Amino acid sequence: MTEDVNRQIRLAARPVGLPKNSDWNLVEDTVPTPGPGQVVVRNRFLSVDPAMRGWMNDRKSYVPPLPIDAVMRALTVGEVISSKNSEFAPGEAVAGLGGIQTFALGDGKDLQKVDLTLAPYPVWLDTLGIAGLTAYCGLLEVGEPKDGDTVLVSGAAGSVGSHVGQIAKVKGCRTVGIAGGSKKCAHLIDQFGFDAAIDYKHENLSEGLKRTCPDGIDIYFDNVGGDTLNAALARINVGARVVICGAISQYNATEIPSGPPAYINLLGRRSRMQGFIYFDYRDKWPAMQKDLAEWRASGAIKTEHDIAQGDVDIFPETLLRLFRGDNFGKLMIELPA
């Protein structure tokens, strides 16, 4: 398809609660041309991530707030189409922060070359990208699993959660997943090899934890926050590691949520709770990607994507699917070829 415009989704207003259509603008800009040191990438797949909701707030965080009228920040994979940067040549496949737009102009600093003979584009946003790397950093670097540990994961059927469960299995742990609905819970066991699952939409969480973690929890990998975190803290073992990866249940909250009352168990059980951001481990990504690729090739890790097909204008509705729980695997958009 010949392109003569760069279609972009820009932030129009800061959302209150769930983002609305009026929080976005669809803009048609000219296709960029690279200046000295610059690269233009044609985006092929756009990653749709829960963290995007936080980037839309005017709040200090691990990345600056997205300015009003800026192109929505997003991880992307695509092809270099023109370059005045000696490190990148037209035709090369790259992953980067290309944003919700057809073409991305940049200085190349955020770009990583990707090997499409090792895995196709979507896998570089999934097992070999944000999902696999986040699970790897959070579980192995922060959680420090030991053989035989009980690892509890929330958001377990999602892209990060399913990788956490599968990597924990590789490391000889017992895995318990929390997910919404019987279909996702069956999938955790049949597809991702979890030992047990809790359907938090249909079972009392404390009862479910008693049933599935009779000997307590050694690692809790938290993607959800709120009541789920509190219920897990109530059952941690001595020396447990509580890995704070995300808190999706709170991302659209209109008031500051209160902390988990059961936090005091960290004291009595001599445990720790630690947050992390996966891109702080960027130096280690190549080694992590090597392990992840091997586990994927051996079948120890299964990769599941949920690919929405369409132009950038489907982004606002696609993002909302994460908060309704109706994605199955790593959510992304495949732009028209």
Ligand X SMILES: NC(=O)c1ccc[n+]([C@@H]2O[C@H](COP(=O)([O-])OP(=O)(O)OC[C@H]3O[C@@H](n4cnc5c(N)ncnc54)[C@H](OP(=O)(O)O)[C@@H]3O)[C@@H](O)[C@H]2O)c1
CA distances from 41 to 46, 80, 97, 106 (A): 12, 4, 10, 8
- Binding residue (CB under 6 A) for ligand X from 242, 322, 332, 333: 322
Joined together, the tokens standing for residue 235 give 């059952």
The answer to whether 114 touches 68, Cβ cutoff 8 Å, is no
Establish if 271 lies at the interface with ligand X (CB under 6 A): no
Judged by CB under 6 A, the stretch of 31-39, 115-123, 273-281, 297-305 that binds ligand X is 273-281
**Cβ nearer to ligand X, comparing 197 with 217:** 197
**Cβ nearer to ligand X, comparing 11 with 131:** 131
The footprint of ligand X on residues 127-186 (CB under 6 A) is 130-131, 134, 155, 157-161, 179-181, 184
H or E stretch covering 242: strand 236-244
The footprint of ligand X on residues 68-107 (CB under 6 A) is none
Judged by CB under 6 A, the stretch of 34-42, 65-73, 88-96, 275-283 that binds ligand X is 275-283
- Binding residue (CB under 6 A) for ligand X from 51, 75, 205, 319: 51
The answer to whether 80 touches 104, Cβ cutoff 8 Å, is no
What would the x/- binding string for ligand X be over residues 208 to 227, using CB under 6 A?
Answer: ---------------xx---
Q: Name which of 40, 143, 24 is nearest 96 in CA terms.
A: 40
Establish if 303 lies at the interface with ligand X (CB under 6 A): no
Establish if 50 lies at the interface with ligand X (CB under 6 A): yes
**Cβ nearer to ligand X, comparing 105 with 139:** 139
Q: Name which of 118, 98, 121 is nearest 109 in CA terms.
A: 98
Q: Report which residue's Cβ sits closest to ligand X.
A: 158
Joined together, the tokens standing for residue 167 give 């990597």
Give the other-Cβ count within 10 Å of 320's Cβ: 16
- Binding residue (CB under 6 A) for ligand X from 38, 79, 97, 276: 276
Joined together, the tokens standing for residue 15 give 């959302």
Establish if 15 lies at the interface with ligand X (CB under 6 A): no
**Cβ nearer to ligand X, comparing 83 with 127:** 127
Smallest distance from ligand X to CB 163, Å:
8
Encode 256-287: b = buried (16+ Cβ within 10 Å), e = exposed.
Answer: eeeebeeeebbeebebebeebebbebeeebee
**Extended beta strands in 73-228, E state:** 76-83, 93-96, 103-106, 112-113, 150-154, 174-179, 196-199, 217-222
Query: Which residues contact ligand X (rule: CB under 6 A)?
Result: 49-51, 130-131, 134, 155, 157-161, 179-181, 184, 223-224, 245-249, 276-278, 322-323, 325, 327
